[in-house]
Structure 1
């Protein structure tokens, strides 16, 4: 097990108020909620999407997500694929019969699902505009990214939300070969796959976050103390 880069957490006097997952899939959401105890919903929770889709969604300010005519059954009807954003929705569209989605199921539910995600997009913007110190977590579940990609992601967030206080945590299955090339404000760590367990390995995630300075005062999207958790998605 490899801890995150200690240099990234050198300034423990400015701990993180909230952790926000950026995919790849449901393991991230489950583990961040378990580790932090904060169940507030964020835009990328419970979604299946790759790195480029995250970057493009933030770049476009969520405008190209779930547009009419762009969403269709995928993986033989096990999920809905948004062609406009390359996001796979496994938990937001419900089949009318059996286990498989049809185009009719998606079309009749699209307005409601889109309204939910537009509300979560607004929550993202409110958090970015607040005083909260945010740790964005990208789980590179298949070790596909490189240091330059994480720099691109950090630049994308910083450009979209100038002045936001945030860092990135890049979690992989194995240590990155180019860790020395990481820009300031980006840490890395490893969490091994847990075969047969979509939730991941609790002990591995615990070890990573034992090194992360978290504020005892959790904040919500407006930067104030969270009074109660808010969940807006269908659990796995």
Structure 2
């Protein structure tokens, strides 16, 4: 890999908080991106990008979920564990969500604009999808790559697909999609630092990535 191939930015694409924590630890860059700290399947990522985020957090679509421990956006199937706060006790109510929806929407509208600006920039981006439950296939990752390329023609990017176990069909992956494994640490939501460091061992980051 040449200096020109080094990645300027690493952007997480779910599955949950482990991805955000590890990317910030590895790069030292805590700049927020749209999918940070969210809980969502790959299909929700694909739909959000293909719809240019317009279907996320629409009024009337967000409700308490998991007995009130998070908010579920029915329009995107994204689970928000950190953006809505209960006003009384530990559990969210519909009134909590309705009262906070405008401010949460404003945050994610700004993050969607940041996504578009990055995609339009000359930055070389590494998108990282942590397939935390080994649910996806090579064809799913190829589709994700195609959706990003279609939404943002000309963007320089690659994908890193991290699983708990090796995929069954890596030969089907597009050449600009790499894969690796990170074992689960059941006692630590942040994941196994050593496993993530090993997965990023061959990833070259430009000096500006660590900022």
Question: What interval of TM-score do these two structures reach, taking the shorter chain for normalisation?
Answer: over 0.9
Q: Where does the alignment leave 5 or more consecutive residues of structure 1 unmatched?
A: 1-9, 220-225, 227-236
* Aligned counterpart for 2:193 among listed residues 188, 192, 202: 202
Q: Identify the residue that residue 234 of structure 1 maps to in structure 2.
A: none
**Aligned CA-pair RMSD:** 1.1
Q: Equivalences for 1:1-236 in 2 at 5 Å?
A: 10-11=1-2, 13-218=4-209
The size of the alignment, in residue pairs, is 211
Structure with the higher helix share, 1 or 2: 2
Following superposition, the deviation at residue 177 of structure 1 comes to 1.1
Following superposition, the deviation at residue 11 of structure 1 comes to 4.8
Following superposition, the deviation at residue 218 of structure 1 comes to 2.6
Q: Identify the residue that residue 3 of structure 1 maps to in structure 2.
A: none
Following superposition, the deviation at residue 196 of structure 1 comes to 1.7
Following superposition, the deviation at residue 61 of structure 1 comes to 0.2
Q: Where does the alignment leave 5 or more consecutive residues of structure 2 unmatched?
A: none
**Structure 2 counterpart SS, 1:217:** helix
Say which structure, 1 or 2, has more relative contact order (CA 8 Å, 6+ apart): 1
Following superposition, the deviation at residue 12 of structure 1 comes to 5.3
> 2:3–2:206: 8 Å Cα contact kept in structure 1?
no
> 2:137–2:169: 8 Å Cα contact kept in structure 1?
yes
Following superposition, the deviation at residue 166 of structure 1 comes to 0.0
Q: What's the TM-score once normalised by structure 1's chain length? A: 0.88
| Per-residue deviation, residues 73-118 of structure 1 (Å, max 9, x unmatched) | 0000000000000000000000011100000000000000000000
